[in-house]
Amino acid sequence: MLNLNQPLDPSEEEDFFKVLICDDFCNNIIAPLMQAKDLLRHGVTLTMPIFNPNPKNQRGRVPAPAVYFVQPTETNIQRIISDVSTSLYDTFHLNFSSSIPRPLLEALASGTLNSIERVAKVYDQYLEFATLEDNLFSLEQHSVYDQLNDPSATDREIEEVIEKVADGLFCVLATLCVVPVIQCPRGGPAEMVASSLDHKLRDHLLSSKNNLFTQGGGVSSFQRPLLCILDRSFDLSVGIQHDFRYNSLVHDVLGLKLNGLKLPGGDKKTIVDISDQFWSANGSLGFPEVAVEIANQLNKYKKEVEEINMRTGGGRRSSNSEELDGNVNTKHLMNAVKSLPVLQERKKVIDKHTNIATLLLGEIKERSLDVYTEKENDMIKMRGSVDMSDLLSVLKGKGTKMDKIRFALMYLISLETINQVDVEAVEAALREAEADTSAFRYVKKIKSLNVSLAASSDNSAASRRNIVDWAEKLYGQSISAVTAGVKNLLTGDQEPAVVRTVEALMEGKQNAETDSYLVMDPRASKSVSSGSLVKGPFREAIVFMVGGGNYIEYNSLQELSQRQETVKNVIYGATEMLTGAELVEQLAFLGQNMGLR
């Protein structure tokens, strides 16, 4: 795209400059992948927003080709028409993040008719997602959990959200150049997204002249992957709990977004991505292990610097005649000069992670995050069987209001049976801490609904239908998500439920938890029964979470891929990457909409 959609030739250097124009969404797609120096290497000397936030700084004509990378929206199309009509750039290379609808394409054609020679080409790039790591992506679609579970949401609004998510997933698959076998639990948002995506893939395979899935490449050279679609209600606890792994802490505590974070006192955004070898190697480790590794890297750096000083005569005077030889000293100096940039870069990385770790340590101590993590893990193991005085003392101790809400929610979700007296005591402790109890009360209602549904399982179908009717009136759209995820609402041990599910699906063996999952194969005829479709084993999988993902699940799935006898590849993606606090805020929004304050 940056090479004007021509093949890259590594032997040739850019001999002309170009302008890159993005909207906010597409800027977020580029941000985790390329910094200013990377863009410059591709000849991009100027990057501009499609709409200038400062109307006083009007854009003048730039005698250079312009690369537009924007979403195909009506406002963007009108802006492009205006820019082309005024010949703002020499040529226009238009790249849309997804397929441009025909009405907008026709509007673009008619609007640029008088300057059509300046429009070099129009491309559908199918890039409606942000790549955060090699095996991690986000559709950057925010508040999807709220939108799908909002009691006031209309069927039309729900359908639009589902279509948008399916469109984003289509772009991911088009980029990977694979048509997967799709599996998902029955009912709820996961099935709705899977059905929509299956329909889109079938339509494209049957009717498209330019088939996006016949251009080679793909996740695997010899086998189609599994696409497992789940929704956040499948396992709420893992999205709420505190975690002590490095990348989870950086995301949760320091607000990592699109591989960047702002550190106190720094003007520039600090980047942690796959180009950062320390982050790639240690991101999934526990914080204490990372602290030790930072110290080891610093000691290693100091030792190498000292060695260079000794060899070049900077460390001490040498009496050895060989070291005084001019040729030997020159050789050492040349080696030192060559190694200096590498050492400087390593020192920058060490300093960066030292600063990050120092900030994390301060937050851990101030908020007792180690205590929250330990106690929450105990709750998961003991299924809510905890000492109430111990639990209440944590709620009255250190930590932010949000830490306490998350801790209380973990207790509530972990309960197999609700003890009203204990739950009310926890809620009272939250009110005493002046914390918003909307999320707590929302989950409490959901738990009560689940208990009612479970209790009715032995009753008549009519009795069960009455409960569901009541629930739908109370919760609106949320009932489908809740009932779909009731069995897996709680992780049974410290391994997230998604890991057990994906492992079972990839093995393709009979499993009580996954035997009822729907199977869809867009390449198979619709007349083929679900039972005769391929159900594994799979070497590779794409796991997608509707309603928000997190680093806990990502780390656990990467560990799963490595612990098999045959190493497998698992890609994890979500509508957005949510911190525990952000998920709780969405739960609170739903609670407030239902009058639970």
Tokens at residue 243, please?
A: 């975690």
| E strand residue ranges, 142-288 | 181-184, 226-231, 260-261, 270-271
Please state the three-class secondary structure of 298-352 as a single string: HHHHHHHHHHHHHHCCCCCCCCCHHHHCHHHHHHHHHHHHHHHHHHHHHHHHHHH
pLDDT at site 484: 39
Note the pTM of the prediction, 2 decimals. Answer: 0.88
The answer to whether residue 310 scores a pLDDT higher than 80 is: no
At 19, is the secondary structure helix, strand, or coil?
strand
Give the pLDDT confidence score for residue 309 in this predicted structure: 75
- 313 vs 294 pLDDT, higher one: 294
Q: Give the span between the Cα atoms of 128 and 23, in whole angstroms.
A: 12
Q: 413: burial class by Cβ within 10 Å (0-12, 13-18, 19+)?
A: buried
3-state helix/strand/coil string of 240-261: HCCCCEHHHHHHHHHCCECCEE
pLDDT for 469: 43
Mean pLDDT of 220-241: 87
- Confidence (pLDDT) at 560: 92
Average pLDDT, the chain: 85
Quote the CA–CA distance of 67 and 91 in Å, as a whole number: 9
Residue with the larger pLDDT of the pair 227 and 339:
227
CA nearest neighbour of 449 among 426, 482, 473: 482
pLDDT at 227: 97
170 versus 529: the higher-pLDDT residue is: 170
pLDDT tens sequence across 501-549: 999 999 888 888 898 999 999 998 877 766 667 777 899 999 999 999 9
SS3 state of residue 541: strand
Q: What is the pLDDT of residue 261?
A: 93
Please measure the distance between the N-terminal and C-terminal CA atoms of the chain and give it in whole angstroms.
50
Contacts for 28 with CB less than 8 Å, ≥ 6 apart? 130, 140, 258
Look-up: residue for tokens 């007792």? 368
Residue 56 reports pLDDT greater than 70: no
pLDDT at 465: 41
pLDDT at 306: 83
Return the percentage of the chain with pLDDT > 90, whole number: 62
Cα separation of 260 and 265, whole Å? 15
Structure tokens belonging to residue 515: 């035997």
What element of type H or E holds 97? none
Label residue 574 by pLDDT band (50, 70, 90): very high
In angstroms, rounded to a whole number, what is the distance separating the alpha carbons of residues 586 and 597? 14
Whether domain 18-125 has CATH 3.40.50.2060: yes
Domain 131-236+489-593 has CATH 1.20.1200.10: no
Pairing of strands 540-546, 569-574: parallel
pLDDT at 29: 96
In terms of pLDDT, which residue wins out, 241 or 565? 241
Distances from the Cα of 528 to the Cαs of 63, 182, 183, 187, 496, in angstroms? Answer: 58, 15, 15, 21, 33
Residue 485 predicted with pLDDT over 50: no
Q: Do domains 18-125 and 131-236+489-593 have the same CATH topology?
A: yes
What's the pLDDT score for residue 151?
86
Q: Using 50, 70 and 90 to split pLDDT, how confident is the model at 305?
A: confident
% of the chain with per-residue pLDDT over 70 = 82
Question: Is residue 53 very low, low, confident or very high in pLDDT (cuts 50, 70, 90)?
Answer: low
Confidence (pLDDT) at 587: 96
Q: How confident is the model at residue 264 (pLDDT cuts 50, 70, 90)?
A: confident
Cα–Cα distance measured from residue 440 to residue 430, given in angstroms and rounded to the nearest whole number: 9
Order across the sheet with 44-49: list the strands.
44-49, 18-22, 66-70, 92-96, 119-124
User: Where are the domains positioned within the chain?
Assistant: 18-125, 131-236+489-593, 261-367, 370-469
Residue 324 pLDDT: 47
In the prediction, which pLDDT does 527 show?
72
User: Residue 334's pLDDT is what?
Assistant: 66
Q: Is the pLDDT of residue 423 over 80?
A: yes
290, pLDDT greater than 80: yes
Consecutive H or E run containing 531: none
Cis peptide bond prior to 537, omega within 30° of 0: yes
Quick one: average pLDDT of 166-179? Answer: 96
